[in-house]
Structure 1
């Protein structure tokens, strides 16, 4: 039995479904990196606001990374997820996937392909 809740986004106030909405019995937000703690009485965010908040938080974190700190970064220790998320792991440019620094940080090392956003250079 699927269990879902209708919630109101604490950011934009739109309604959205939250809960066990997939066959794997998990919420849609579990596809994103576990980088948030709900605090200050905030409730869940809708998919659009949650994705934007993830992108902002990850981009701010990536800006603090140097080639030296990239080798032992937080992204390596997060639970592995094979699903790639547009805007977080990659973006599309002229029909090609361009992997962002977060994708490379999760991998944990340089692949040697001279990637545009490689944090290990």
Structure 2
């Protein structure tokens, strides 16, 4: 098998057929590495981009809710980029597609609170 060979896969969640290169060039390599995503019987399956994004986003929400702020901030720093352009954002992971509101994970990747009272701001509120 060559590095650029595509494989046809069927998403076990939505049933859509999609292409996967099953290597480092695959689109899924842009996702935060948070395995296992869940304990379902399909946890080793190959999901389409939308379904995998939803699963990763749910895992990120659990991580943010259950781990100390410094720990999730350090993990998010691994995925920080200089670009703030929407083209580099991942649906469900960095923003909610219907409302286009930025997620807590996006704010953590940014690395600081912008003090704009964002709905999903994960930064602790200063107690004066």
Fold equivalence (TM over 0.5): yes
Q: Calculate the aligned-residue CA RMSD, in Å.
A: 3.0
Scaled by the length of structure 1, the TM-score of the pair is 0.68
The structure whose residues are more often strand, as a share, is: 1
Q: Taking structure 1 as reference, are residues 14 and 53 closer, same or farther at Cα in structure 2, changes over 3 Å only?
A: same
Contact 1:71 1:108 in 2 (8 A): no
How far off is 1:50 after superposition?
A: 0.9
CA shift, 1:14, in A, is 4.0
Partner of 2:79: 79
2:28 aligned residue? 29
Number of residue pairs matched by the alignment: 111
Out of 105, 108, 112, the position equivalent to 2:111 is: 108
Structure 1 gaps, min length 5? none
Distance in 1 (alpha carbons) for counterparts of 2:63 and 2:117: 22
* Normalised TM-score (structure 2): 0.65
Consecutive unaligned residues of structure 2, counting only runs of 5 or more, are: none
